[in-house]
């Protein structure tokens, strides 16, 4: 009597071998975690960023003696011309794109939200803010994922058509900052991440309505070490955050590379997951409230 045990082995359930992936902001932080999770397990991963030196360092440090590949592409995801260039580059090299990870993101300086008078709160929130701060953040965090996802639809659909039992997939890296009710001192960033969460939902709905078989999901990370949360990277493009920095969370620590790798492989490989935002946050949301 035959059974399907073989299909349920880890190597089959989370199989990204020979898949073609693209990760924006793949040179550090969460983008680098996503890149490693895929490349170490056999995927060919193109990493996009604005700084060639940073991307080359990632390929040099993490691209050797692994089952897959890490290939740097310098590009700008916040402009239509930049996105067209990135798509053309991948089209010239690959027949399809299996996994698109929209991870590139920026934030502004934090503002103080505690105040004792209306005048003081106005000084804290209104005075330091510029319209450019908001529009620049939206251009990268919201418009970029929209442009890349829609521009790559033909190549993503080709992955679905060419790989039996697999559908091309987009993973948008949003944030718990787009889900919590508090501003965390950055209204512009949190608003943009809430927009990313809703964009994810709309793209999933409209793409399936048009008959394409492309899965769109979002991962909303909590506190992970990155250039955004620690303001720096070391020589290996990794950021460090002491365990006690987030000791007050239910997890009693910040997130780590393995936490993100598990989430990315799940979203990339689970063919029944579509239109979802998954919070990987060490319990931040149950503590801070939505």
CATH assignment at residue 273:
3.40.50.720
Q: Left, alpha or beta for 273 (phi > 0: left; psi -120 to 50: alpha)?
A: beta
Q: Is 184 contained in some domain?
A: yes
Indicate whether 1 belongs to any domain. Answer: no
State how far the Cα of 179 lies from the Cα of 219, in Å rounded to an integer. Answer: 12
The string of pLDDT tens digits covering residues 117-141 is 999 999 999 999 999 999 999 999 9
Which residue in 231, 252, 232, 234 sits closest to 243, CA to CA? 252
Choosing from 44, 62, 174, 233, the catalytic residue is 174
Residue 6 is assigned to a structural domain of this protein: no
The catalytic residue among 188, 189, 226, 238 is 189
* Planar angle of CA 85, 87, 90, nearest 5 degrees: 110
Sheet holding 69-74, edge to edge: 69-74, 44-49, 20-24, 99-102, 168-173, 214-221, 277-280
Q: Are the beta carbons of 42 and 16 closer than 8 angstroms?
A: yes
Q: Please report whether residue 46 resides in a domain.
A: yes
Q: Is residue 2, in this structure, part of any structural domain at all?
A: no
Q: What is the C-alpha separation between 194 and 255, in angstroms, rounded?
A: 21
Q: Percentages helix, strand, coil for the chain, rounded to the nearest 5?
A: 45, 15, 40
Q: Is residue 102 part of a domain?
A: yes
Catalytic residue among 19, 54, 193, 238: 193
> How many domains does one find in the chain?
1
- pLDDT tens for each residue of 18-39: 999 999 999 999 999 999 999 9
Residue 172's domain comprises 15-288
Q: Is residue 44 annotated as a catalytic residue, yes or no?
A: no
Taking residue 189's Cβ as centre, other Cβ atoms within 10 Å add up to 25
Residue 193 appears among annotated catalytic residues: yes
Q: Which pLDDT belongs to residue 79?
A: 94
Please report where in the chains the tokens 């700084």 appear, as a residue.
51
Handedness of CA 88, 90, 96, 97 (dihedral sign): negative
CA 238, 240, 246, 251 dihedral sign is: positive
The answer on pLDDT for 9 being more than 70 is yes
pTM for this prediction: 0.94
pLDDT digit string, tens, across residues 98-111: 999 999 999 999 99
């Amino acid at each position: 009597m035959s059974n399907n045990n073989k299909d349920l082995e880890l190597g089959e359930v989370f199989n990204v071998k020979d898949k073609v992936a693209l990760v924006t902001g793949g040179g550090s932080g969460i983008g680098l975690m996503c890149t490693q999770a895929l490349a170490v397990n056999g995927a060919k991963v193109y990493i996009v960023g604005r700084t060639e030196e940073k991307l080359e360092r990632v390929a040099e440090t993490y691209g050797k003696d692994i089952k897959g590949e890490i290939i740097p592409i310098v590009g700008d995801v916040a402009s239509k011309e930049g996105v067209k260039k990135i798509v053309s580059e991948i089209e010239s090299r690959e027949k399809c794109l299996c996994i698109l990870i929209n991870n590139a993101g920026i934030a502004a300086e934090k503002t103080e939200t505690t105040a004792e008078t209306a005048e003081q709160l106005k000084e804290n929130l209104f005075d330091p803010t510029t319209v450019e701060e908001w529009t620049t953040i939206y251009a990268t965090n919201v418009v970029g994922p929209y442009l890349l996802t829609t521009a790559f639809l033909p190549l993503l659909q080709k992955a679905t058509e060419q790989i039996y039992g697999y559908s091309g997939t987009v993973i948008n890296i949003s944030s718990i900052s787009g889900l919590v009710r508090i501003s965390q001192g950055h209204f512009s960033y949190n608003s943009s991440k809430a927009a990313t969460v809703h964009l994810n939902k709309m793209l999933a709905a409209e793409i399936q309505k048009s008959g394409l078989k492309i899965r769109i999901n979002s991962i909303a990370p909590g506190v992970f070490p990155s250039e955004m949360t620690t303001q720096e990277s070391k020589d290996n493009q990794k950021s460090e955050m002491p365990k006690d920095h987030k000791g007050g969370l239910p997890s009693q620590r910040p997130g780590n590379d393995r936490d993100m790798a598990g989430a990315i492989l799940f979203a990339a490989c689970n063919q029944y997951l579509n239109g979802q935002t998954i919070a990987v946050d060490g319990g931040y949301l149950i503590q801070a409230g939505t």
